[in-house]
Amino acid sequence: MSFVPMDFDPFTSFGPEVAGRYDDAPRGDEEVAVARLATLAGEGPVLEFAIGTGRLALPLAARGLRVDGIEQSQAMVDRLRAKPGGAEPEVVRGDMSTVVLERRYPLVFIAFNSLMNLTTQDDQVRCVANAARHLTRGGVFVVENVVPDPMYRLERRAGVDQYVQVGGVSATGVHLDVGRYDRVTQRVDKSHIRISGGGITTNALALRYVWPSELDLMARLAGLELRERHGGWCGEPFTAGSGMHVSEYGRPVTVR
């Protein structure tokens, strides 16, 4: 047996049901993330790839910055629009690897592993190039992503790498994250499964793992270089134990 990708359109993963509960459980690092992004943005404007429900974009805009976004899911944009201040960001519906806006930005960012929503290396390379295209000369491109850890949690069964992770257990239900990983393409097909008295729901998601080193090469292909890498939004050192990274890229500074 070998890995067979799920037969579904990954663009459907962020539909009305997911969008409706997306902001129910905040991650908790929004304030520090927004503080760091605002520092990098200066006077702005700011462009967020995969702006979603505006979890970071709206607090940034509330600081007086112009924030634009690219987002493929109408349901996520609808949620953004329904929030206080949600009418403000200019959001273009489409694919962040191909949509090109006219404006140039001192800060372009992509948060919460959204780069991995592009499920091929080519698409991720195109996306990083597209981010670089939107930067002003001294602009910064920020990527927040997990450090993939398949070797630690995968179990190989019948030639396929797979895992089951407990996302939460409560008196009223459980939340499981169930996935399969393809070593060849670095694709992960997963489902978030919620079991409660009300029934069972599944939410399919396809991702492509990207390691920090591979991302650095994608950035180089786009004419950018790594300026800083931290293990979180507070400037934590990036170490072998870091589960995530916040990486900042810019154009190489030429020395005369």
Ligand X SMILES: C[S@@+](CC[C@H](N)C(=O)[O-])C[C@H]1O[C@@H](n2cnc3c(N)ncnc32)[C@H](O)[C@@H]1O
Print the binding letters for residues 76-115 with ligand X: x by CB under 6 A, - otherwise: x------------------xxx-------------xx-x-
Closest separation in Å from C-beta 250 to ligand X: 21
| Contact flag: residue 232 with ligand X (CB under 6 A) | no
Counting contacts by CB under 6 A, is residue 206 touching ligand X?
A: no
CB 113, CB 145: distance < 8 Å:
yes
Encode 8-23: b = buried (16+ Cβ within 10 Å), e = exposed. Answer: eebeebbeeebbeebe
Q: Are 68 and 47 in contact (CB under 8 A)?
A: yes
Q: Nearest distance from residue 60's CB to ligand X, in Å?
A: 11
Choose the stretch contacting ligand X; rule: CB under 6 A; options: 66-74, 84-92, 155-163, 175-183: 66-74
Measured from the Cβ of residue 235, the count of other Cβ atoms closer than 10 Å reads 12
| Nearest of 212, 218, 171, 211 to residue 195 by alpha carbon | 171
Please report, as residue ranges, which positions from 46 to 65 form the binding site for ligand X (by CB under 6 A).
50-52, 55-56
Please give the Cα distance from 89 to 27 (Å, whole number).
Answer: 22
Does residue 117 touch ligand X according to CB under 6 A? yes
Nearer to ligand X, 52 or 139 (CB): 52
Instruction: Select the residue whose beta carbon is closest to ligand X and give its number.
Output: 52
98/63 Cα distance (integer angstroms):
29
Query: What phi and psi values does residue 110 have, to the nearest 5 degrees?
Result: -140, 115
Which of 36, 72, 128, 148 lies at the binding interface for ligand X (CB under 6 A)? Answer: 72
What's the closest the beta carbon of residue 127 comes to ligand X, in angstroms? 7
Q: Which residues bind ligand X (CB under 6 A)?
A: 14, 50-52, 55-56, 70-73, 76, 95-97, 111-112, 114, 117-118
